[in-house]
């Protein structure tokens, strides 16, 4: 016991975290629980009297940890990785203790300005020009939604006051994205009152990139019909396959038709920090808005999404509302004006800690290592007759399938859109069996109508042996299934 009970509590929690981290690699990534299991262990009402920290931590071990999917587990290779490295964890600790609210400049001047500077650091890190400004949002969903609101007000001036229902019913506000765009864009379109029927899902080429010729043709025909294009969303690193829309060509089309270009680089954005990968991002510097998520590939604790925009006034104009009780009389940027939530956590602190404690060079090294690990795994898939790659691997995510043992390979699963439900079932079983074993966690998607396995590298904690284990698990279960 020290003289300061706070230090004792903090030390106790730090030890709990240290223990958790030590046993994490031995825990199953996915827990063996069924819906309702945790609820049963939790009392229906809050306690009247205080309980000790030790009791709470002991329940954390008994009730919560066994029911967690461990995102910080080194074998977590599902979805896009979201992991937390030490600097961000420490920064979150401090942010919670400071508990400032950077809604107005006046309510947190240095936090507001640190956020502005961290946006600049991020912009420099990924090599975007000075003209981009931005804010930190919680998630890419919120960032893209904010961008859509700005695009909506630009395409339909006055819609923030009149609303969309005041428009001519024959004139449709339209949003353009590839059929591989993330569901967050769909949700943004729904939320903004534009309606999901007003999404034009532009077909992709054979490697899942938006076809600019089709975009151009659709836009031209919509404009001719008197409709109102609101936004084109291009993706660098789509969720299913990490494909890369041809942003330069799309930017040309957007410029020609005067449409807002939003680039969703939530996952892949940080990889633009690597000069050798910069060509994959060609054209994004012409976007009106860009989203990239440090809480994905940059190991910042969730949540931290960076929204960059070319014209801050376009964003502010679309959404800002300052009641008398929030007027300050100070001439400074109030960050609440660039998003829906009024309250704003001190998220910039974790970016500051991340960049300073690790340094830009180490972050680039990490990105390169992840890309190497993914490509090593892809090579194994490529060289093994039991598996096949189903998409290129531009970043750190591998999309692949198992080929059932008795399948005629020439007639078997391929990326030509043919239905292959037996192979699909086989891959589903395989994925489920691998995940149930608990050593690694992979996810899935659908590409060209086929069920596809997906392995994503991007965690602060991933080790060479975890990729090795993923391969071992897959081949092991494959052989088990073969002999079943």
- Does 397 interact with a second copy (rule: CB under 8 A)? no
Work out how close the CB of 302 gets to a second copy at its nearest, in angstroms, rounded to a whole number: 5
What is the DSSP track for 190-211?
Answer: HHTTS-GGGEEEE-B-TTS-B-
The Cα–Cα gap between 173 and 187 comes to 15
Strands (E), 213-288: 228-235, 260-264
Candidate residues 131, 225, 255, 332; the one interacting with a second copy per rule CB under 8 A: 332
Q: Tokens 């001519």 — which residue?
A: 168
CB of 478 to a second copy, least distance (A): 21
**Shortest distance (Å) from residue 409 CB to a second copy:** 25
Q: Minimum distance from CB of 1 to a second copy (Å)?
A: 14
* Least distance from a second copy to the Cβ atom of residue 265, Å: 16
Which of 314, 309, 312 is CA-nearest to residue 157?
A: 314
Q: Check binding of 134 to a second copy (CB under 8 A).
A: no
Tell me the number of residues near a second copy by CB under 8 A.
154
Among 126, 128, 152, 178, binds a second copy (CB under 8 A): 152
What x/- string results for residues 64 through 103 when contact with a second copy is judged by CB under 8 A? xxxxxxxxx------x--xxx-x-xxx-xxxxxxxxxx--
Report the DSSP pairing between strands 397-402 and 387-389. antiparallel
Q: Which is nearer to a second copy, 253 or 363 (CB)?
A: 363
Nearer to a second copy, 244 or 249 (CB): 244
Cα torsion at 106, 289, 187, 272 (round to 10°)? -110
The three-class DSSP label of residue 212 is helix
Report if residue 145 touches a second copy, rule: CB under 8 A. Answer: yes
Asked if residue 168 lies in contact with residue 225, where contact means CB atoms within 8 angstroms, the answer is: no
Q: Which of residues 293-322 bind a second copy (CB under 8 A)?
A: 295, 301-303, 305, 318-319, 321-322
The yes or no reply on residue 403 touching a second copy (CB under 8 A) is: no
Contact range with a second copy by CB under 8 A, out of 107-115, 218-226, 463-471, 472-480: 107-115
Residue 236: closest CA among 201, 260, 186, 271: 271
Decide if residue 366 touches a second copy (CB under 8 A).
Answer: no
Contact criterion met (CB below 8 Å) for 334 and 105: yes
Q: Which of residues 412-451 bind a second copy (CB under 8 A)?
A: 443-446
Minimum separation from the CB atom of position 7 to a second copy (A): 6
Q: Which of 23, 58, 131, 166 binds a second copy (CB under 8 A)?
A: 166
CB closer to a second copy out of 216 and 344: 344
DSSP 64: I
- DSSP label at residue 403: P
466 touches 77 (CB < 8 A): yes
For 190-212, letters b (16+ CB in 10 Å) and e give eebebeeebbbbbebeeebbbbb
Name the minimum Å distance from CB 248 to a second copy: 27
Q: Are 177 and 208 in contact (CB under 8 A)?
A: no
Closer by beta carbon to a second copy, 195 or else 376: 195
Site for a second copy in 230-259 (CB under 8 A): 239-240
Judged by CB under 8 A, does residue 278 bind a second copy? no
* CB of 113 or CB of 372, closer to a second copy: 113
Task: Give least dist CB 483 to a second copy, A.
Answer: 25
Among 25, 27, 120, 127, binds a second copy (CB under 8 A): 120
What contacts 92, CB < 8 A, 6 or more positions away?
Answer: 301, 349, 350
Q: Per-residue x/- mask for a second copy, residues 23 to 52, rule CB under 8 A?
A: -------xx-x-xxxxx--x-xxxxxxxx-
Residue span binding a second copy (CB under 8 A) among the ranges 117-125, 200-208, 216-224, 255-263: 117-125
CB-nearer residue toward a second copy: 359 or 405: 359
Q: Residues 77, 136, 149, 474: which binds a second copy (CB under 8 A)? A: 149
**What distance lies between CA 48 and its chain's CA centroid?**
40
Residue 118, classified by CB atoms within 10 Å of its CB into exposed (0-12), middle (13-18) or buried (19+), is buried
Per-residue x/- mask for a second copy, residues 187 to 206, rule CB under 8 A? xx-xxxxxxxxx--------
Cα–Cα distance between 154 and 156 in angstroms, integer? 6
With respect to a second copy, which residue has the nearer C-beta, 320 or 481?
320
Closer by beta carbon to a second copy, 60 or else 389 = 60
d(CA 257, CA 246): 17
* β-pair partners for 450: 447
Identify the three-state secondary structure at position 170: coil
CB atoms within 10 A of CB 405: 13
CB of 194 to a second copy, least distance (A): 5
Whole-number Å distance between alpha carbons of 380 and 30: 25
**What is the token pair recorded at 33?**
């629980």
Q: Which of 325, 408, 410, 411 binds a second copy (CB under 8 A)?
A: 325
Extended beta strands in 375-438, E state: 387-389, 397-402
* Of 25, 27, 116, 369, the one binding a second copy by CB under 8 A: 116
């Amino acid at each position: 016991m020290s003289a300061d009970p706070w230090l004792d509590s903090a030390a106790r929690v730090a030890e709990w975290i240290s223990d958790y981290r030590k046993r994490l690699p031995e825990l199953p990534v996915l827990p063996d629980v069924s819906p309702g299991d945790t609820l049963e262990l939790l009392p229906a009402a809050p306690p009247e009297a205080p309980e000790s920290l030790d009791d709470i931590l002991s329940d954390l071990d008994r009730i919560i940890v066994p029911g967690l999917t461990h995102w910080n587990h080194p074998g977590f290779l599902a979805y896009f990785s979201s992991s937390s490295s030490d600097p961000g964890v420490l920064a979150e600790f401090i942010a919670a203790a400071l508990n400032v609210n950077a809604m107005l400049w006046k309510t947190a001047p240095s936090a507001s300005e640190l956020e502005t500077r961290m946006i600049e650091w991020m912009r420099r890190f990924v090599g975007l020009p000075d003209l981009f400004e931005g804010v930190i949002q919680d998630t890419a969903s919120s960032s893209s939604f904010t961008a859509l609101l700005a695009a909506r007000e630009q395409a339909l001036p006055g819609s923030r006051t009149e609303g969309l229902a005041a428009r001519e019913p024959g004139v449709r506000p339209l949003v353009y994205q590839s059929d591989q765009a993330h569901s967050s864009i769909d949700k943004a379109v729904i939320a903004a009152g534009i309606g999901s029927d007003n999404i034009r899902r532009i077909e992709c080429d054979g490697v899942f990139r938006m076809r600019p010729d089709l975009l151009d043709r659709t836009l031209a025909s919509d404009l001719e019909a008197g409709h109102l294009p609101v936004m084109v969303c291009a993706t660098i690193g789509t969720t299913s396959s990490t494909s890369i829309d041809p942003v330069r060509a799309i930017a040309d089309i957007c410029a020609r038709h005067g449409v807002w270009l939003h680039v969703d680089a939530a996952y892949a954005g940080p990889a633009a920090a690597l000069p050798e990968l910069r060509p994959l991002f060609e054209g994004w510097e012409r976007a009106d808005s860009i989203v990239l998520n440090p809480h994905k590939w940059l190991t910042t604790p969730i949540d931290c999404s960076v929204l960059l925009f070319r014209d801050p006034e376009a964003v502010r104009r679309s959404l800002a509302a300052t009641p008398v009780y929030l007027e300050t009389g100070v001439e400074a940027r109030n960050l609440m004006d660039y998003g829906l939530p009024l309250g704003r956590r001190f998220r910039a602190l974790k970016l500051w800690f991340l960049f300073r404690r690790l340094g830009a060079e180490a972050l680039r090294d990490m990105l390169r290592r992840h890309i190497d690990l993914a490509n090593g795994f892809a090579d194994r898939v490529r060289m093994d007759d039991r598996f096949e790659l189903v998409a290129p691997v531009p970043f750190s995510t591998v999309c692949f399938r198992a080929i059932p043992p008795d399948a005629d390979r020439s007639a078997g699963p391929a990326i030509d859109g043919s239905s292959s439900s037996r192979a699909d079932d086989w891959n589903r079983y395989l994925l489920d069996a691998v995940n149930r074993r608990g050593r690694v966690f992979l996810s899935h998607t659908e590409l060209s109508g086929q069920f596809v396995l997906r392995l994503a590298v991007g965690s602060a904690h991933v080790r060479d042996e975890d990729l090795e284990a993923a391969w071992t698990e897959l081949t092991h279960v494959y052989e088990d299934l073969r002999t079943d």
